[in-house]
């Protein structure tokens, strides 16, 4: 059977179980922060939370769609590890640990990808990437994201200084003459969204394309996302009112939706049918 035919075949019962396990693993990965938000702010805090954001939900939707289209999930051999791994994964989901949930999602998704074909392999890899993204946000970005935040603070200061020469910058801190200021944290950096944006781009990218066209489209996407994030940082630094809007549920999600639109345009531009 060809790869194309396998990716269009109906999903076997085991494939559906594995896909539901991966989805359950993602939900388990979100449970820790949801519980902490509930304890701190009650149900209203969950409704006002911007996490998971539009990009993570988009990546999840695309990954699950690939899993559901793929009829060969865990059916391509590779040592038969998917079955035992599913039991370990299911048992691990009973433990209340966000870190463990992410590690299990990476491991189980990777094993399923190794033993799958076609769209199912792409979907399993994408679910593993969602687990790896949480590890990046928890440990990788705080450790290695400093130079990017330095560049964002410098650029935001340079641009806002054109309108407000009195703006001061001290490291990652920006302060207006009236006293309002912000500190650019890892969660406000492009490094927070770029891995998910690249994942969504790869999942959306359909049809034949040359490597050069794909690279150009991806480079253009990174520049657009950087511009969107600088605009948001500028709003956060400008005044308390713009900070409240840009950091609130509506503002954060609008910027996320703008990023999703940019990803779709870049994926279309990378395809030969664009």
Average pLDDT of the residues of the chain: 83
Confidence grade of residue 261 (pLDDT, cut at 50, 70, 90): very high
Total-model pTM: 0.83
End-to-end Cα spacing for the chain: 30
Q: Which of 131, 63, 121, 124 is nearest to 100 (CA)?
A: 131
Mean pLDDT of 243-267: 89
Confidence (pLDDT) at 116: 78
Confidence (pLDDT) at 70: 63
| Cα angle value 156/160/162 (rounded, 5°) | 130
- pLDDT tens for residues 116-158? 777 888 888 999 999 999 999 989 988 888 999 999 999 999 9
Burial per residue of 26-37, b for 16 or more beta-carbon CB atoms within 10 angstroms, e otherwise? bebbbebebeeb
| DSSP three-state, residue 71 | coil
Burial per residue of 123-146, b for 16 or more beta-carbon CB atoms within 10 angstroms, e otherwise? bbbbbbbbbbbbebbeeebeeebe
Peptide bond into 45 cis (omega under 30): no
Domain ranges for the chain, please list them. Answer: 1-144, 145-274
Residue predicted with more confidence, 198 or 207: 198
Q: State which of 27-31, 111-115, 155-159, 185-189 shows the largest mean pLDDT.
A: 155-159
Mean pLDDT of 100-115: 89
Confidence grade of residue 211 (pLDDT, cut at 50, 70, 90): confident
Mean pLDDT of 1-22: 59
Q: Which of 167-171, 191-195, 244-248, 255-259 has the lowest mean pLDDT?
A: 244-248
Mean pLDDT of 153-176: 92
The sign of the dihedral angle between the CA atoms of 114, 115, 121, 127 is negative
- pLDDT tens for residues 40-52? 666 655 555 556 8
- pLDDT tens for residues 8-17? 444 456 667 7
Confidence (pLDDT) at 72: 59
Confidence (pLDDT) at 5: 44
Confidence grade of residue 263 (pLDDT, cut at 50, 70, 90): very high
Residue predicted with more confidence, 258 or 91: 258
pLDDT at 92 over 50: yes
Confidence grade of residue 235 (pLDDT, cut at 50, 70, 90): very high
pLDDT at 202 over 80: yes
Confidence grade of residue 6 (pLDDT, cut at 50, 70, 90): very low
């Amino acid at each position: 059977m060809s790869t194309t035919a396998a990716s269009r075949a109906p999903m076997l019962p085991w494939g559906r179980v594995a896909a539901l396990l991966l989805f359950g693993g993602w939900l388990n990965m979100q449970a820790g922060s949801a519980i902490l938000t509930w304890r701190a702010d009650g149900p209203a805090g969950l409704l006002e939370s911007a996490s998971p954001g539009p990009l993570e939900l988009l990546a999840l939707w695309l990954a699950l769609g690939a899993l559901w289209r793929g009829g060969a999930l865990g059916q391509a051999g590779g040592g038969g590890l998917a079955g035992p791994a599913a039991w370990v994964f299911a048992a691990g989901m009973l433990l209340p640990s966000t870190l463990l949930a992410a590690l299990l999602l990476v491991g189980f998704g990777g094993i399923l990808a190794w033993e799958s074909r076609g769209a199912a392999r792409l979907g399993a890899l994408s679910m593993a990437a969602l687990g790896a993204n949480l590890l990046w946000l928890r440990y990788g970005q705080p450790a290695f994201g400093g130079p990017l935040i330095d560049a964002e603070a410098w650029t935001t200061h340079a641009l806002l200084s054109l309108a407000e020469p009195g703006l001061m910058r001290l490291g990652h801190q920006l302060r207006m003459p009236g006293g309002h200021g912000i500190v650019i944290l890892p969660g406000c950096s492009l490094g927070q969204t770029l891995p998910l944006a690249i994942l969504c781009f790869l999942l959306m990218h359909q049809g034949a394309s040359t490597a050069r066209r794909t690279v150009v489209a991806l480079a253009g996407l990174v520049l657009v996302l950087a511009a969107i994030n600088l605009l948001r940082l500028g709003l956060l630094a400008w005044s308390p009112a713009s900070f409240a809007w840009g950091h609130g549920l509506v503002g954060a999600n609008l910027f996320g939706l703008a990023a999703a639109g940019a990803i779709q345009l870049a994926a279309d531009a990378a395809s030969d049918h664009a």
